Copies of this chain bind each other. A is one copy, B any other.
Amino acid sequence: MAQEDARRSRGDRTRRRIAIRAAELASVHGLSGLTLGQLAGDLRIGKSSVAAVFHTKQELQLAAIAAAGDIFQAAVVAPTSHLPPGLPRLRGLVNAWLRYVSEPVFPGGCFMVATAAEFDSRPGPIRDALAQLRREWIALLTREVEHAQAHGAPAQLPAPLLAFEVDALLAGANIAGNLMDDPGALDAVRRILSTRLGLADIDSD
């Protein structure tokens, strides 16, 4: 039994390592661009080892999305969970998000931005998984905006619309920064968000 446990835990580690690398590659080349062979070469493991844990390309793509969700959670959401709800946490989320694309955590910028447009017109499990990640993120933003508006943030727009706007601006910063090599895009978005959220400044936690 101990031997089998050790084997299973080794398998889990391999699976996790492949899924994380798949998420990183997908942020640059898209989910469609993933292949088991390329991943095996990239990670210097046998193609048969990859094929042993992921039987189909779709399984690999879904694992990459799940890994990306975990990475996003750790990079953007977790670091802000200690902040007071409402404006302070919202500012924390925006700052963490801008760091997440400028460091960058994923080589291709935001994983969601890179893959959502790729699959948004192709119904199926991949699109469903991406839509679910997006729903959770928008729900999180909406909750914080509601709390902020209840405590004095500008309320020209209902919370779900302001949350939609925050997300659209962050995604726009990512595209402009990457596509046009425009390092000013992140500052532009800080300034727009400061105005829209009624923050004196948004560039420090």
A residues whose Cβ falls under 8 Å from a Cβ of B: 27-30, 32-33, 107-109, 113-122, 127, 130-131, 134-135, 156-157, 160-161, 164-165, 167-169, 171-176, 178-180, 185, 188-189, 191-192, 195
Is the beta-carbon distance between B120 and A117 smaller than 8 angstroms?
no
Is the beta-carbon distance between B134 and A120 smaller than 8 angstroms?
no
Q: A130-B179, A157-B192, A164-B192 are known contacts; what are 12 more A-B pairs with Cβ within 8 Å?
A: A29-B122, A32-B32, A116-B179, A131-B179, A134-B179, A156-B195, A164-B185, A165-B169, A168-B169, A168-B172, A168-B173, A172-B172
Distance in angstroms between the alpha carbons of A134 and B108 in the assembled complex:
19
Instruction: Give which listed residue, B30, B172, B180, contacts A32 with CB less than 8 A.
Output: B30
Is the beta-carbon distance between B114 and A178 smaller than 8 angstroms?
no
Instruction: Give which listed residue, B117, B165, B189, contacts A118 with CB less than 8 A.
Output: B117
Distance in angstroms between the alpha carbons of A173 and B178 in the assembled complex:
20
Nearest B residue to A123 by beta-carbon distance? B181
Return chain B residues, CB-CB under 8 Å to A114: 117-118, 120-121
Return chain B residues, CB-CB under 8 Å to A127: 179
Distance in angstroms between the alpha carbons of A108 and B119 in the assembled complex:
10
Return chain B residues, CB-CB under 8 Å to A122: 28-29
Rounded to whole Å, the gap between the CB of A94 and the closest CB of chain B is 14
Sample of 5 A–B contacts (CB below 8 Å)? A32-B32, A118-B118, A120-B179, A134-B176, A157-B191
* Listed residue (A156, A169, A175) with the most chain B CB atoms within 10 angstroms of its CB: A175
